[in-house]
Amino acid sequence: MKVKHSKKKSRQVVVVALSVCWLLLIGYTGFYLYVNFIQTKDISSSSGQTVASYEVDETEVTQEKKDDYQVPNPSFPRYLSIPSLKISNARIVQIGTIKNTGQLDSPKSIYDAGWYTKSGLPGAGKGAVLIDGHNGGPTKGGVFENLGSLSKGSEIIIERGDGQRITYQVADNREMSVEDINNESNPLGMKTMLNSMDPKKEGLNMITCVGDWDYSKNTFNKRVMLRAVRKM
């Protein structure tokens, strides 16, 4: 009887051990998929930190959807074009900040640009229009994939809801670390992105995430910070 009891107990121990191993395997697989495929790794923010982890939309925007796109106010930016990057009429959606963090939001689609509604209006003649967008998603490049390659003098065109087209020229374009853009004494940091680089001209400032993914901070470690001024 003692031998039979020992064998039964041994079988129970083996079953429990295998169950624990199976649960650990499932847990690890789920964590791996979350980190590598589900968690979004591209967020621009007012503080240089990630705003949130959420799924982006990699569905390509058809020409019909572009043509049908409207903005609620004729003075709002509707389309963005950058001829040298072969970007033509990318939709510009309205964005704000994330509740409880105050950080800049981003468009859901990797092919859309986002206009911060508390920044300047294109054609207003003062201040700066602030636009962000994704450099890519988990498997595809986004609207600002090559934003960092724009050279000084390159043209960027914004079309408003009323059809007015306004051309800007790049005045400065550089990669900066998150630490640098958060430095309040940095004249080209995030704190000044609502200001035109030339106080006498209307500005257009753009931002996207680049560099390596920093798992400890849940964000990319660099940003492309582009500043342009209206072409007169």
| Three-class secondary structure of residue 83 per DSSP | helix
Q: Residues 1-13: what's their mean pLDDT?
A: 49
Taking the CB of residue 147, how many other CB atoms lie within 10 A of it? 22
Q: How far apart are CA 4 and CA 8, in angstroms?
A: 6
**pLDDT of 3 above 60:** no
What are the Cα distances from residue 182, in Å, to 115, 185, 216? Answer: 21, 9, 17
pLDDT value at position 1? 39
Q: To which residue do tokens 């960027």 refer?
A: 156
- Fold of the domain built from segment(s) 42-230: Sortase; Chain: A; (2.40.260)
Q: Residues 92-96: what's their mean pLDDT?
A: 96
Contact present, 121 and 100 (Cβ < 8 Å): no
Q: Residues 130-158: what's their mean pLDDT?
A: 95
pLDDT tens sequence across 38-74: 333 333 343 333 333 447 899 999 999 999 999 999 9
Q: How far apart are CA 106 and CA 206, in angstroms?
A: 12
pLDDT value at position 147? 97
pLDDT value at position 26? 47
Domain edges within the chain: 1-38, 42-230
Q: Which residue has the higher pLDDT, 218 or 45?
A: 218
pLDDT value at position 181? 84
**pLDDT category, 28, cuts 50, 70, 90?**
very low
Contact present, 204 and 129 (Cβ < 8 Å): yes
Q: How much is the pTM?
A: 0.75
* Average pLDDT across the chain, whole number: 81
